[in-house]
Structure 1
Amino acid sequence: MEKTTPPDGKKPQIATMEALSVAIGVSRPTLSRYFQDPASVSRSSVDRIREGLERVEYVPNFFATRMNRKSTGMIGVIIPYLNDLFFTRLLEAIEIAAMEAGFTVISQCSHSDPAIEARAVETFMSMNVDGALVVPLGNQSDLDACKRLNARLPLVLVDSRPKPLSELDFIGTDHVQSTGLMTEYLCRVGAPPVFLAMPRVNFNAVERENAYLSKMHELGHAPMVIGTDSLNEDGHFEAHGQVVLAEQFARGALVDATILAVNDRVALGALRAAWQYGLQPGALRHGGLRIAGHDDFPLCDYTTPRITTVSQNVDAIGRAAVARLTDRIRAENKADGQIVQLFDGVLKVRESA
């Protein structure tokens, strides 16, 4: 077939598959089979279609080409926040693993709102995604919505596990190991740590607080937990850490203590409070104020001082979550026993502690 180029160099734009079939001289059903699976079309038809596509501007409608397929090739992902770089890293790991497995990721953010989280669940069901990975908000999550989703399609919980949904597959970090690792380190090189918590609405936060208490008792130290009550209105982790420690520093308390923050974002707020009161965390390894966190937030290596923390294996969590979901999809969601896969954290020692 001779190739021709329009005088102005621009290819004609084709909007529909019907118009494309006329433009390149191939039937509509043949085109549909080609876009679903080129191997299902004869070699001569494949050559004719590819030559025709070089002469026009046409992008197949993603949803239209999947309407009659058993699989849409899509998986849904719900994350709780867009302003948290941890979830950005997790979504990146999931997307890369999904692409390697031949799936397209449709992501939704619940924006700390259970109503939006529930709407995202309904959206995925209406789109007939092949499966879903959900990172729950916390106690405020619409757990009934997750149950409805699980009844309709393969579902794997990632990073955070609500106890009412503990029977579902879960991929995340072993917080008993990771928090215990940090607690033990801090006790070994200085004063036993005070745990800078957050209001108990986050499943991971509660697990880490309990892991701290257990490890402190195991080591023979008296635990001390602060920050379980909300002292700031905006609810951001950084602001919470700053307000809680500023209140302590203002009355001369904990100025030479070891602080283990529930996560790195709370630790960032704690560093800000220390700066406000002229304190230098980590200046003296065996004395003076020390501040540590959890997660290895991407900014931890660029603060002053750099934050000592525990790194979660985000890449492995993302890969494992996608692998488990694709196994469930290929098995048509037939029950084969619950999977709970937990990854160890790795200590990252820096200047702050």
Structure 2
Amino acid sequence: MATMREVAALAGVSAKTVSRVFNDDPHVLPETRETVEKAMRELNYVPNALATTFRAGRTAALGVAVPDLVDPFFAAIARAIDEVAAGHGMSTLVTSLGSDPDAEQGIVERLLGRQLTGLIITPVSTDQHWLTRWQDHTPMVFIDRAPQHLVADSFTYDDVGGSIAAVSHLIDKRHRRIAYIGHDPELVTEVDRRSGYRKALERHGIPYDPDLVVEHVDQRDSAAAAVAQLFELADPPTAVFTSNARTSMPVTAALRDSGLAMVGFGDFPMADMLTPSLTVMDQDPARIGRLAAQRIYDRLASPRAEFPLHTVLDVPLVERESSGAQSFGAPAA
């Protein structure tokens, strides 16, 4: 296998210049880049990743820690991060945190022990202060959920504003009895989305009714029980707002032939194929994954840049059929 020094000798440049060409340094002259790339091709040069790791003191990989890789939302984020990392000649190491907050630290520190280039994380606990000792060595970006008791870069969604828009959309459709169905009432994202639900009702002069709020829904059985509970009310809802895609998926099945309108926070595969197709607040998980990965590389390139940077992303409404009063059925053929 050819070495960097052999490529440098053939191209008539230094080994450092070869490294700069391989890492796509924009300051390399075009003619020099062409000469070096020709030498790389002639020698079939492949960089020694292990040697690079030893020199940099890091593994040439981004660590990704999300609650559940089976969840389409987090799977899309992980794929987008991997695409950006590949563009920088790196890999990704991905792990699932699960739903136990007490397990978060152990899982993430085992990942950090691999001496990562950077860490992208969606936390499940309510305290990340323990990550402070890792920050000097490893750039970190939080996604979907901001860090708590830790100063770090983050990309989150406008959970309050998006929920206000979703519920207001249903109100504009003349619905006044709007149920809220959520998953984990302790998650900061769901706290904010529930807050947005209440704010939308208040803005339109609609009293908040706690009987219309059902949580801990993420499976078919809990969704069926939630819908049955809502229909048993003396004054049942005519519309439903679900707080996340994981809840929306089983709720659409439970609402089959119910006639209730629905808006979900977060899109998911085949949501547009349901009958009726599901109106959603679109989080665009691929976008947040790309932005987070690029932020890691920006931090590496400019470690003295403004810190921290907290970016809040809009969640636009994607109006489909379900926000009208129609029955849910099977996916469209």
Q: TM-score scaled to structure 2, two decimals?
A: 0.77
* Cα contact 2:182–2:214 (8 A) shared by 1: yes
Report whether the alignment pairs 1:218 with 2:213: no
Cα 1:181–1:46, aligned 2, differ >3 Å: closer, same or farther?
closer
User: CA shift at 1:326, angstroms?
Assistant: 1.6
Distance 1:325 1:149 in 2: 14
Assess, with a 3 A threshold, how the Cα gap between structure 1 residues 66 and 174 changes in structure 2: closer, same or farther.
same
Q: Which residue of 2 aligns with 1:97?
A: 84
**Alpha-carbon distance change, 303 to 146 in structure 1, aligned in 2, over 3 angstroms:** farther
Q: Percent same amino acid at aligned positions?
A: 24
Write out aligned runs for 1:226-305 (5 A).
226-227=212-213, 230=216, 236=218, 238-249=220-231, 251=232, 255-275=236-256, 279-281=257-259, 289-305=260-276
Indicate yes or no: 2:137 matched with 1:156.
no
1:206 equivalent in alignment to 2:184: no
CA RMSD of aligned residues (A): 3.7
Q: In structure 2, how many angstroms separate the alpha carbons of the residues matched to 1:229 and 1:89? A: 25
1:133 corresponds in structure 2 to 120
Give 1:173's aligned residue.
Answer: 157
Q: How has the CA–CA distance of structure 1 residues 77 and 352 changed in structure 2, closer, same or farther, with 3 Å as cutoff? A: same
Structure 2: gaps spanning 5 or more residues: 10-14, 23-33, 324-333
Q: In the alignment, residue 270 of structure 2 is paired with which amino acid?
A: L
The residue correspondences of 1:55-204 to structure 2 (distance < 5 A) are: 62-69=49-56, 72-114=59-101, 116-139=103-126, 143-165=128-150, 167-192=151-176, 193-204=178-189
Separation of aligned partners in 1, 2:141 and 2:275: 38
Q: Distance between the aligned counterparts of 1:64 and 1:237, measured in 2?
A: 47
> How far off is 1:219 after superposition?
1.9
Change (3 A) 1:52 1:150: closer
- Counterpart residue identity of residue 240, structure 1: S
Q: Is the 8 Å Cα contact of residues 157 and 313 (structure 2) preserved in structure 1?
A: yes
Give the gaps of 5 or more residues in structure 1: 1-19, 282-288
The CA distance in 1 between the partners of 2:286 and 2:238, in whole Å, is 34
Shift of 1:71: 5.5
**Residue 95 of structure 1 aligns to a residue in which SS?**
helix
Which letter does structure 1 place at the counterpart of 2:250?
A: G
Query: What is residue 7 of structure 1 aligned with on the other side?
Result: none
Q: 8 Å contact 1:313–1:343 — kept in the other structure?
A: no
Matched, 1:311 2:282: yes
Q: 1:148 to 1:303 in 2, by over 3 A?
A: farther
Work out which of the two has the higher radius of gyration on C-alpha atoms and give 1 or 2: 1
